[in-house]
Amino acid sequence: MKPRSHWLADTESLRAASDSVAPAKAVDVAIVGGGFVGLWTAIELKLREPDLAIAVFEANRCGEGASGLNGGFVMSWWPKIGSLARICGADDAVWLADETTRCITELGSFLEHHGIDAEYRQSGWLWTATSPLHLGAWDGVVDTACRLGRDDVFVQVPASEIAARTGSAVHLAGVCEPVNGTVHPAKLALGLARVAESLGVRIHEHTRVERVERTSPARLVLASGVVKAGRVVLATNAWAASVPELARKFVCVGSAVIATPPIPDRLRAIGWTGGESITDSQTTVTYYRTTRDGRIVFGKGGGRLYFTGEPDALAFADPVGIAEATEDFRRTYPMLADVPIDSAWSGPIDRTYDSLPLLGTLPDAPHIAYGIGWSGNGVNPSRIGGRILAELSLERKSRWTANALVNRDARRFPPEPLRYLGGALVRRAMLRKDRAELAGRAPSATDRMLASLAPSGLEDKN
C-alpha cells in the first residue's frame, strides 16, 4: 500500500523543478502558503491590479498541504446556510452561498479556458443516511434553504434511486445538490500555480517563512534573508496556530483517506457510474467518490486531534484513522471486499466551531490578512476566499469585505491542554455514538451530549 496521497503521487511527473531564483528584497504583496487559498488570492490580485509585485512563499511544493490531501469535492456553502445566516444575516448568507454555487459552474469554464485537465466533473453530491437513525439529518438545512427562497438547491432522492446511484443498498435515503462536482485536487493546484505564474506572480517553493514581523512594511524572515512586503496574506491553514489571535479559533483534526486501484468494471457492475460524490450522516462523516480511471477514493473526517502548535507533516500519519476509513469502506461496499487498498494517507483539517472560514486582518497589523479554517471544505469556497483576501489587500470597500463573515468574532476553543483533553473526550463519544447508530441502537445520553459539543459538520447547528 502506498502511503502518499494518490493525488500527489499521480502528479509527480507533471511537476517542474522548483524555481531556484532568489526572492526579491521587496514586494507589494507576499502570500504565505501555496495551496488553493494562496493561489486564488494571487490570481485575483493580478486580475485586479496587474502591475502589483506579488510573491507566493510555499514551505514545500504548491498543493502539497491540505490542497493535495483532500477528497476533491467541489461543494457550495448551502449545507452551511444556517451558520451563514446566523453570522451574516439572510441577505448576505444567500449571496455568499449563491456565489459559491456560481464558482462551481465557473470552474469548468476557467479550467477549459486555461487548458487545465483537472478531471473536473459536475455530477452532483449526495447527502445520505446509512442508518435508520440518520434519516432526515439534512431536513434542517433543506428547510432553511427553502425559507430563504432557494427551494431548488436540494432535490429529494427516493430510497430506490439512492441505492442505485451510490451502488450500495446501505444507503437508505438522501438528498442531492446537483450543481456540485469533483476534481483532481493536485492537478487543480498545479493548474492554478501555472495560471498565477503566467500573470506574473513569483512562486517560491521550498521557501519556508520562519516568521512575519508586524512592521510596516512587514518583514518576512526566510532562511536566506528578509523580504519586505507592503501587504501580507496568511494562507497556511492548520499551520496558522503560531498566530496568537487565531490559535484558539480553530482545532487541527485529522482526516484519513484510502483509494482503491482502478476498478471500472466493478463500478459498472454495482451501478455507481454517474460520478456522484457522496457523504453519509455520521458525526465522524465519511465521504467518497470515484475518479476518472475508476478508483474509489474514500475518506473519513473527525479523526485524530492534534495538540496546538505548528504541525509537523510527519505527525499526520494516522494508522488508526486509516483503519477506521477502511472499515467504513468495507461496511458501505461489502460486495467489494476482495478489492485491495492501493494507497492511504491522512492530513490536517483546520476546523472552526461553525465550519466556516476565518477571513480578516490582524487587529494590530491591518496590512496582514488571513484566510484559514476551511474545515475540510475549501476546494471551491477558496475562490471566494481569494476574492475577499484580494479586496482586503487592496483596502477596497466592497460587498466582499463588508459582509459579516469578514473580521468576525468567532467562537474560541478552550486553551491547551483543556482543548486537547476535552477534544479527545468528545471524539471518543462521537465514535461511540456513530457505532451505536450504525448498529441500529440509540446512543447513550452522555455520548449524545458530548458529541453535540463537537464543531459543526454536515449537520449545520442553527
CA pair distance 168, 334, nearest whole angstrom: 9
Give the model's pLDDT for residue 458: 52
Q: Would residue 334 count as lying in a domain?
A: yes
Running DSSP on this structure, what letter comes out for residue 238? G
CA pair distance 257, 448, nearest whole angstrom: 26
Q: Tell whether the model's pLDDT for residue 35 goes beyond 70.
A: yes
194 near 49, Cβ under 8 Å? no
Q: What number is the average pLDDT over the span 11-40?
A: 90
CA pair distance 315, 318, nearest whole angstrom: 8
227 near 219, Cβ under 8 Å? yes
Q: Would residue 213 count as lying in a domain?
A: yes
Q: Would residue 219 count as lying in a domain?
A: yes
Domain housing 264: 6-12+23-402
Q: Would residue 385 count as lying in a domain?
A: yes
CA pair distance 242, 350, nearest whole angstrom: 13
Render 42-93 in DSSP notation, one character per residue: HHHHHHH-TT--EEEE-SSSTT-SGGGTS--EE--SGGGHHHHHHHH-HHHH
Burial code (b: 16+ CB inside 10 Å, e: under 16) for 179-193 equals: bbbbbbbbbbbbbbb
CATH label of the domain that carries residue 201:
3.50.50.60
Q: Name the pLDDT band for 3 (thresholds 50, 70, 90).
A: low
Render 290-357 in DSSP notation, one character per residue: E-TTS-EEEEE-S--EE-SS---GGGG--HHHHHHHHHHHHHH-GGGTTPPP-EEEEEEEEE-SSS--
Q: Would residue 1 count as lying in a domain?
A: no
Give the model's pLDDT for residue 177: 98
Q: What number is the average pLDDT over the span 317-343?
A: 95
Q: Would residue 380 count as lying in a domain?
A: yes
Q: Would residue 281 count as lying in a domain?
A: yes
Domain count for the chain, please give it: 1
Picking from 127, 130, 125, 126, the residue whose alpha carbon sits closest to that of residue 172 is: 130
Q: Tell whether the model's pLDDT for residue 1 goes beyond 70.
A: no
When the pLDDT of each residue in the chain is averaged and rounded to a whole number, the result is 94
pLDDT tens string 39-61: 999 999 999 999 999 999 999 99
Q: Would residue 434 count as lying in a domain?
A: no
